Amino acid sequence: MTPSQTRSDLARADRIAGSGWTLGVDTSTAVCVGLARGDEVISLRDDNPRAHAERLMPLVEQVCRQAGIAVGEISEIAVGVGPGPYTGLRVGVVTGRVLAHLGGTEPHPVCSLDVLARQWADSGTAPAEGFIVATDARRHELYWARYDAAGDRLDGPQVGKPETLPDGVPVGGPGCAARGLVPAQGAPETLDAGLLAACWRRLPDVGIEPLYLRDPDATAPTTRKATLTPTRLTLPAVRPAAADPR
Amino acid sequence: MSEPLILGIESSCDETGIGIVRGNDLLANEVASSMEQHIRFGGVVPEVASRAHLEAVVPVLEAAVASAGIDLSELDGIAVTAGPGLMGALVVGLSAAKALAAWLNKPLYGVNHLAGHVAVDLLEHGDLPMPCGALLVSGGHTSLLKVTSIADGITEIGSTIDDAAGEAYDKVARLLGLPYPGGPVIDKAAARGNPAAIHFPRGLTARHDMAKHRFDYSFSGLKTSVSRWVETEQQAGREVPVDDVAAGFQEAVADVLTAKAVDLCGYYGLEHFLIGGGVAANSRLRTLLAERMEDAGVELRRPRPGLCTDNGAMIAALGVQVVKAGLRPSALDISADSGLPVGNVLV
Ligand SMILES: [Zn+2]
């Protein structure tokens, strides 16, 4: 998006570009799929938090059936790239990438928190002073980002304990229920992938890599559990193990 | 009717493989490995592997389709590893396969990784005479199988009760101060050493063990024994002969793996035997198994090392067998199963 484009220009562009169906896929929270074409929007969701790989494609087939198209007739793919718990998140991202590849297009990646913020801003109930959108990051933490009243991201996304959120800013999103926070009035409780499909052009492109925000759980051995110190040995001519670079 | 044309996807560990097979003909076998990223951790890190699978899927798919010279619309089905393996890694390949199946409107076959190691031999040596024994050895598995039909007749007769053979290689390499992965470096060091210099124990071969674990393996005692031997040498202030230790260890592994394989053939009257998995590339194991199977009058089938390690062609080859057996395709809502038993060839 360029700064000279206005919101109404972009909204019109959304409608004009919609000659075919755009699929929205987001597995950063629940399994969320949607289809949008012009003003037509269909949204489906499966709230099982541990069945992303199982539920996603059946739900994509179902939403396509409702629109009267085959999966192979989807024109564009918009995909939420998180942040979100990794295994579930990757289900949506790899699905979006493969479907887009098969359709000969590039997937359109958006930050999943931006979708929730857009839902809140578009609902007309967003707090005038801005707000925070939060999703469950497990391990007693939240993924969160801060937005202005129009739903534009000011800060984040980041991951942290609920007590590290800025004081006094209204919070909403599916993370509230998971982490025992009281959500602000009107805040979205679930992600709407139909809206994602309809409005991805109005959201920043965050790149197709998932927003992991945490390093993998892995520690290189700091002291190698070798019984022998290599210096005392006549070692075969092989590449030595990489030292811990962290 | 022409032979089934199947695309296979494998992502159970650290290799993203996509292969395309028509009948027993290998048309494409593209593999991206994240091994380099695991070396500094001294073992495969599941999250690192899963992230690498996600990045590799589309490029590997493109490469496989290009090298096979086919159009995806020609496919008769998509086969994918449903298990066993690392959950986060399996899910990436499974999701990609479902997306392909739904977009192309082709049947999906969620299949067993271990059965894939058996099926891959068909690509090199043609139809497998039945019944047939098989030894699958890698960093993740050590199993003795009896096969009466690849699609629906695989029985696990024995397996490791602790570490996989490849894990034992990694652990011994580590205590010798050798880098990960241990298989190739120990193989290399062993080639310079004397395998008879140090005798290490053969797990589960004592009479009382054979009663209950005749076809099972154990490698943790062997690892402990190597560790003790090395410590004793150090405490005595002697230089540790790494090559001899490696050779003695490798001999113990190859001896017990092959002895029980030959015993299996004798016990069940099997005249054909197949080896697969990453450790099947080990030079001593290949040689010793060939010698002993020849002595026992059993025909040994050894796929080339590039087909023994994890790849997508083995999954495609298995998919062909499943289609030819007329088995029903998998539903689009199947799960990955990290502990899928080898008897479950199709999910
Ligand atoms: Zn394997």
d(CA B184, CA B169): 9
Q: How confident is the model at residue A137 (pLDDT cuts 50, 70, 90)?
A: very high
Chain A residues whose CB is inside 8 A of the B189 CB are: 236
Tell me if B48 and A244 make a contact (CB, 8 A cut-off): no
Contacts of B108 (CB under 8 A, 6+ apart): B77, B78, B80, B97, B98, B101, B329, B330, B331, B332, B334
Q: Which residue has the tokens 């044309």?
A: B5
**Alpha carbon of B171: minimum distance to chain A alpha carbons (Å):** 9
Give φ, ψ of B14 to 5 degrees: -110, 5
Task: Tell how many helices (H) and how many strands (E) occur in chain A.
Answer: 6, 9
Chain A residues whose CB is inside 8 A of the B185 CB are: 236, 238
Question: Of A65-74, B77-86, B302-311, which gets the smallest average pLDDT?
Answer: B302-311
Residue A243: predicted pLDDT:
35
Encode pLDDT of A64-83 as tens digits: 999 999 999 999 999 999 99
Q: Using CB atoms and an 8 Å cut-off, which of residues 178-207 of chain B contact chain A?
A: 178-180, 185, 188-189, 192
Q: How many CB atoms lie within 10 A of CB A85?
A: 20
In the numeric block, which tokens belong to residue B219? 């490698």
Q: Using CB atoms and an 8 Å cut-off, which of residues 284-313 of chain B contact chain A?
A: none
Does the pLDDT value for residue A112 go beyond 50?
A: yes
Q: How confident is the model at residue A225 (pLDDT cuts 50, 70, 90)?
A: very low
d(CA B149, CA B321): 9
d(CA B169, CA B187): 9
In the numeric block, which tokens belong to residue B305? 């090392």
| Cβ–Cβ under 8 Å, residues B123 and B26 | yes
Encode pLDDT of B123-164 as tens digits: 999 999 999 999 999 988 999 999 999 999 999 999 999 999
Which strand (E) or helix (H) includes residue B212?
A: helix B207-213
Q: How confident is the model at residue B1 (pLDDT cuts 50, 70, 90)?
A: low
Query: Among all residues of chain B, which has the CA nearest to that of A218?
Result: B45
Query: Among all residues of chain B, which has the CA nearest to that of A60?
Result: B102
d(CA A219, CA A236): 26
Encode pLDDT of A15-44 as tens digits: 444 479 999 999 999 999 999 999 999 999
Query: Among all residues of chain B, which has the CA nearest to that of A216?
Result: B47
Q: Using CB atoms and an 8 Å cut-off, which of residues 182-211 of chain A contact chain B?
A: 209-210
Compute the Cα dihedral for B48, B51, B54, B56 and give only its sign.
negative
Give the mean pLDDT of B246-259.
97
In the numeric block, which tokens belong to residue A124? 């007309």
**Alpha carbon of A59: minimum distance to chain B alpha carbons (Å):** 10
Q: How many CB atoms lie within 10 A of CB B8?
A: 34
Looking at this predicted complex, what is its ipTM? 0.94
Give the mean pLDDT of B212-234.
95
Give the mean pLDDT of B58-83.
98
Encode pLDDT of B326-336 as tens digits: 999 999 999 99
- Compute, in angstroms, the gap from residue B84 CA to the centroid of ligand 1: 9
Residue A221: predicted pLDDT:
52
Chain A residues whose CB is inside 8 A of the B48 CB are: 216, 218
Which strand (E) or helix (H) includes residue A7?
A: helix A7-17
Residue A235: predicted pLDDT:
32
Domain ranges of chain A: 7-202
Q: Between vectors from CA A131 to CA A126 and to CA A132, what angle results, nearest 5°? A: 130
The structure's pTM equals 0.91
Q: How confident is the model at residue A220 (pLDDT cuts 50, 70, 90)?
A: low
**Alpha carbon of A222: minimum distance to chain B alpha carbons (Å):** 10
More confident residue, A234 or A219: A219
The architecture (CATH level 2) of A7-202 comes to: 2-Layer Sandwich (3.30)
B6 closest CA partner among B332, B325, B320: B320
In the numeric block, which tokens belong to residue A87? 């295994």
Q: How confident is the model at residue B112 (pLDDT cuts 50, 70, 90)?
A: very high
Residue A7: predicted pLDDT:
46
Least CB–CB distance from A224: residue in B102, B174, B227? B174
More confident residue, B59 or A8: B59
